[in-house]
């Protein structure tokens, strides 16, 4: 049986797509192996959101070719969509565009002599098949839409992915049911611009309500949102249903009104303060993350300071900070007054430091407070603990919790080590339950939870 290895760069949507490819090829008799292993075929799902993503994509292709010079190397994704000629020079066997990505398993099968029309199980009419698991991950990503029509001046993803296309709600529900049946406790809804979800007059909030009503999955999380998509209906749903994770990630990009406008975004600094404040007041314990771009063309020192002061004033608890990089074909790439790399590096360092300070303040506020942690399946070599994510996206290391892998447990953290919370589980003998020991406190029962996740 041919062995195939997959890897992806960038977003969770790319990770979901390689899972679809992997399961489809398994139906055709292929064996999925780690990308670090010797394989007969390597598939790289590329990203082009930054120049670093381009570099990572090329490095992975070269690594695959070195690992097995005789293997077939197939490349797809946003970088492959926009600049296939650059990748073709790396000696790959096939490039599959984003538009044709659902046909990639057929192409790979044909490279090994199989009929491209061989049917697969578990497929949706006119749609890519749905997944039943997520290799090596405890929580699963679920694609709800593709494409974007915002045309932000710095971004090429709308070019690479095309217009917004929403996935049928019944297909999403079937996929989540299959994942729940396979003991996945959490799904993260993903796409290029999930706030644009719109299928047969069902918007994102309507889809969330449908998933809550028709699936048994314990926790629902969603990926990045435009700040303007945090409306009253979404806030109300998050505040009233504990199955919706109290966590949002906002694509803010800048805290200066002029820079926001140059980027082609449609919100204001004041609206960002209002939105984060409303989330704080309405959703107890929420964690709010944000993307920022520093060094956008024309950004002055004073405009950068506005991003810093926004972070200080707003309820934002962690950051993903990116130095601006020109993307070929974007309007921003043609803008004058480019910021020198040295200044971009310093601004990146400073904003990341501010973000880390706010993150630590937020994390420390949960010492002694009950959290629901989904313990991950992965082993941590040399360490006597397991790690997992709380409902509000805090990393928690739990000493002695190996028996809880893949389960949701109640814990009360007692310390912060680095930027992670720490809890401690001791095996008890009373009623077969597990005891969570907190230094200086009485033992608190810690047991895996079923469908009742009420804190």
For residue 19, the domain's CATH number is 3.40.50.2300
**Is residue 69 domain-resident?**
yes
Whether residue 7 is found in the same domain as residue 86:
yes
Whether residue 359 is found in the same domain as residue 255:
yes
**Is residue 411 domain-resident?**
yes
Asked whether residue 88 carries a pLDDT value surpassing 50, the answer given is: yes
**Is residue 337 domain-resident?**
yes
The pLDDT value recorded for residue 381 is: 66
pLDDT tens digits along 192-204: 999 999 999 999 9
**Is residue 117 domain-resident?**
no
**Is residue 229 domain-resident?**
no
| Residue 385's pLDDT band (cuts 50, 70, 90) | confident
pLDDT tens digits along 16-72: 999 999 999 999 999 999 999 999 999 999 999 999 999 999 999 999 999 999 999
Compute the average pLDDT of residues 402-415.
89
Last residue of a domain, one of 53, 83, 111: 111
pLDDT tens digits along 306-351: 999 999 999 999 999 999 999 999 999 999 999 999 999 999 999 9
Q: HEC profile for the chain?
A: CCEEEEEECCCHHHHHHHHHHHHHHHHCCCEEECCCCCCCEEEEEECCCCHHHHHHHHHHHHHHHHHCCCCEEEEEEHHHHHCHHHHHCCCCCEEECHHHHHHHHHHHHHHCCCCCCCCCCCCECCECCCCCCCCCCCCEEEECEECCCCCCCCCCHHHHHCCCEECCHHHHHHHHHHHHHCCCCEEEEECCCHHHCCECCECHHHHHHHHHHHCCCCEEEECCECHHHCCHHHHHHHHHCCCECCEEEEEEECCCHHHHHHCCCCCCHHHHHHHHHHHHHHCCCCEEEEEEEECCCCCCHHHHHHHHHHHHHCCCCEEEEEECCCCCCCCHHHCCCCCCHHHHHHHHHHHHHHHHHHHHHHHHCCCCCCEEEEECCCCCCCCCEEEEEECCCCEEEEECCHHHCCCEEEECCCEEECCEEEEEEEECCHHHCEEECCCCCCCEEECECCCCCCC
The pLDDT value recorded for residue 236 is: 97
Whether residue 20 is found in the same domain as residue 102:
yes
> Of residues 404 and 284, which shows the higher confidence score?
284
The pLDDT value recorded for residue 425 is: 65
CATH of the domain at 282: 3.30.750.200
Whether residue 54 is found in the same domain as residue 158:
no
Asked whether residue 400 carries a pLDDT value surpassing 80, the answer given is: no
Whether residue 302 is found in the same domain as residue 356:
yes
CATH of the domain at 160: 3.30.750.210
**Is residue 16 domain-resident?**
yes
**Is residue 30 domain-resident?**
yes
Domain of residue 174 covers: 130-223
Whether residue 104 is found in the same domain as residue 22:
yes
The pLDDT value recorded for residue 151 is: 94
Asked whether residue 441 carries a pLDDT value surpassing 70, the answer given is: no
Count of domains in the chain? 4
**Is residue 399 domain-resident?**
yes
pLDDT tens digits along 113-158: 887 555 444 544 444 478 999 887 899 999 999 999 999 999 999 9
Lowest mean pLDDT among 23-37, 381-395, 430-444: 430-444
């Amino acid at each position: 049986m041919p062995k195939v290895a997959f890897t992806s760069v960038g977003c969770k949507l790319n990770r979901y797509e390689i899972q679809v490819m992997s399961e489809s090829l398994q139906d055709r008799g292929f064996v999925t192996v780690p990308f670090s292993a010797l394989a007969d075929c390597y598939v790289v799902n590329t990203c082009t959101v930054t120049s670093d993503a381009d570099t990572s994509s090329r490095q992975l292709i070269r690594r695959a070719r070195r690992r097995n010079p005789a293997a077939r190397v197939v490349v797809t994704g946003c970088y492959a969509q926009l600049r296939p000629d650059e990748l073709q020079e790396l000696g790959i066997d096939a490039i599959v565009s984003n538009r044709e990505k659902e046909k990639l398993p057929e192409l790979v099968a044909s490279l090994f002599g199989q009929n491209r029309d061989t049917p697969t199980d578990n497929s949706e009419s006119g749609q890519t098949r749905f997944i039943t698991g997520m290799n090596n991950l405890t929580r699963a990503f679920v694609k709800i839409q593709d494409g974007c029509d915002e045309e932000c001046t710095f971004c090429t993803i709308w070019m690479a992915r095309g217009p917004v296309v929403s996935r049928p709600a019944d297909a999403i529900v079937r996929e989540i049911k299959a994942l729940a049946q396979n003991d996945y406790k959490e799904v993260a809804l993903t796409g290029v611009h999930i706030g644009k979800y719109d299928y047969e007059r069902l918007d994102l909030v309507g889809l969330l309500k449908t998933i809550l009503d028709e699936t048994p999955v314990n926790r629902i999380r969603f990926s990045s949102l435009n700040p303007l998509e945090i409306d009253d209906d979404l806030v109300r749903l998050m505040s009233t249903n504990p199955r919706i994770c109290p966590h949002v990630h906002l694509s803010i990009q800048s805290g200066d009104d002029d820079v926001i406008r140059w980027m082609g975004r449609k919100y204001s600094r004041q609206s960002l303060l209002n939105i984060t404040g409303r989330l704080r007041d309405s959703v107890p314990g929420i964690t709010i993350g944000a993307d920022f771009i520093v060094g956008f063309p024309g950004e002055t020192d004073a405009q950068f300071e506005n991003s810093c002061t926004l972070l200080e004033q707003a309820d934002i608890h962690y950051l993903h900070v990116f130095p601006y990089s020109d993307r070929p074909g974007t309007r921003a790439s043609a803008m004058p007054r480019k910021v020198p790399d040295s200044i971009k590096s310093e601004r990146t360092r400073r904003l990341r430091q501010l973000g880390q300070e706010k993150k630590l303040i937020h994390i420390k506020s949960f010492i002694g407070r009950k959290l629901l942690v989904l313990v991950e399946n992965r082993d941590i070599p040399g360490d006597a603990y397991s790690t997992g994510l709380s409902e509000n996206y805090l990393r928690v290391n739990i000493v002695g919790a190996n028996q809880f892998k893949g389960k949701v447990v109640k814990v009360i953290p007692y310390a912060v080590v680095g930027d992670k919370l720490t809890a401690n589980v001791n095996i008890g003998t009373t009623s077969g339950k597990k005891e969570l020991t907190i230094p200086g406190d009485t033992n608190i029962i810690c047991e895996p939870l079923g469908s009742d996740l009420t804190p």
